Amino acid sequence: MDKETRALRILLLTDRFPPEVRSAARIFHELASELQRRGHDVAVIAKAPRGYVAGEGRGKVLPGWSEVDGVRTFRVRGCPIPGYHPILRGLDHLTLGWTFGRACQQFARPDIILVQSPPLPLALSGGTHARRCGGRLVLNIQDLYPKTAIDLGLLRNPVAIEFAERMERRAYREAARIVVHSNGNRDFLKNYKGVALEKVNVIHNWVNTELLRPEPRDNDFSRSHGLTGKFVVSYAGLMGYAQDLTTVIESARRLLERSDILFLLVGEGVLEPRWRQAAGGLVNVRFLPLQPKDKYVKLLAASDLCLVPLDVSLRTPAVPGKLQSIMASGRPVITITGPESDAPKLVLASGGGVNVSPGDAEGLADTIFRLRADPATRTRMGARGRAYAEEHFSLQKCADLYEELFAELRDEKKTR
């Protein structure tokens, strides 16, 4: 594209942004940085983080303007909710919708307003600002809410469900374009929500394939945590309602006599105490806190196998963001998901790993044991996953697709 076509004013709305280390925070941060590097005028409105911050950064990000790796970022304050409660979380999301709406006025007349959902109220804030300033609203759906919350039993009240579904319908109606990260999500919107296919773009979640690449297993992280000589099976990420570690812990119990196999569970979340209690007494299971980005890269490199577990009750075609990072690192992956998920389809299509059904602890233990004895297959899976990530998940390729979409929407506006 020529320089004139590329000059866009872009406003991103997300409740997750660094120093949070969740996948949703990484994804929008990398996109914002890449779009700004390409010459666009980019600003981000994000929630001031209270959790999921690695190291000593927790509680040190204040509301107001700041810069994150050169990207202008305006932080808003969320409700101080202790622990997790669905009703309080819902009230926090509604409050965020109001505070984000006010904060949008800090960035006048954007061409594009890109909103990450959930939470759904941010889409309504973005839609209101788009109507006010003449911009185009693009909705990036990471999780299909409220469907995900209903599946996991977090949203049960019929009145609350109807309210959330009304919000969802309005968000889809107001968006000029909806971006999803898999074909299954696109088909879900068409078949169950009545969204026209021409309104939906499939752009995979991306990963920085220059930062995340195959590295030697023996590194500083491995040595500092005593992983040398161990066959490391890792899970690194959120320990919430959507990530069921029961199958992982039960498979560790079955492999307890294999002292060379170590299960490394890294992260935090509302269900972390449950998993720690379930793994009590298992000397082959070790927990570590969330790791900053540089150490997360080394953690993946130090792993022999990486796990991506999802709760069996989750009926949406989810693809967790950590999957792309694992594949880019050249490590074989085992997804532990049901047939509705797009994650095992992606893994099997790439040749980068295998899938095990949730609850099949014996099957997971057998798969780990078999791959432990077959380094050639692990190497082949890792190489195939890396090649697939380079072809489909590179930040540059995905940013190209967003850039083309944004330019198309701006041209449509000029034509109209």
Residues of the chain with pLDDT under 70: 1-6, 50-52, 54-60, 79-90, 413-416
Do residues 170 and 289 share a domain?
no
Do residues 89 and 163 share a domain?
yes
Do residues 133 and 242 share a domain?
no
Do residues 328 and 256 share a domain?
yes
Do residues 201 and 229 share a domain?
no
What is the reported pLDDT for 416? 59
268 falls within a domain: yes
CB count, 10 Å around CB of 222? Answer: 20
406 falls within a domain: yes
212 falls within a domain: no
352 falls within a domain: yes
What is the reported pLDDT for 4? 47
211 falls within a domain: no
Do residues 167 and 183 share a domain?
yes
What is the reported pLDDT for 3? 45
Do residues 167 and 315 share a domain?
no
What is the reported pLDDT for 369? 96
Residue 240: which CATH number?
Answer: 3.40.50.2000
Q: What is the DSSP code string of 240-262?
A: STT---HHHHHHHHHTTT-TTEE
Do residues 356 and 407 share a domain?
no
Category of 237 on φ-ψ map: left (φ > 0), alpha (ψ -120 to 50) or beta: left
What is the reported pLDDT for 333? 97
**Nearest residue to 24 (alpha-carbon basis) of 238, 183, 203:** 238
404 falls within a domain: yes
82 falls within a domain: yes
24 falls within a domain: yes
Number of domains the chain contains: 2
Do residues 230 and 115 share a domain?
no
- Please give the residue range of the domain that contains residue 160: 3-206+394-415
Do residues 164 and 229 share a domain?
no
Alpha carbon distance 85, 226 (integer Å): 37
What is the reported pLDDT for 1? 47
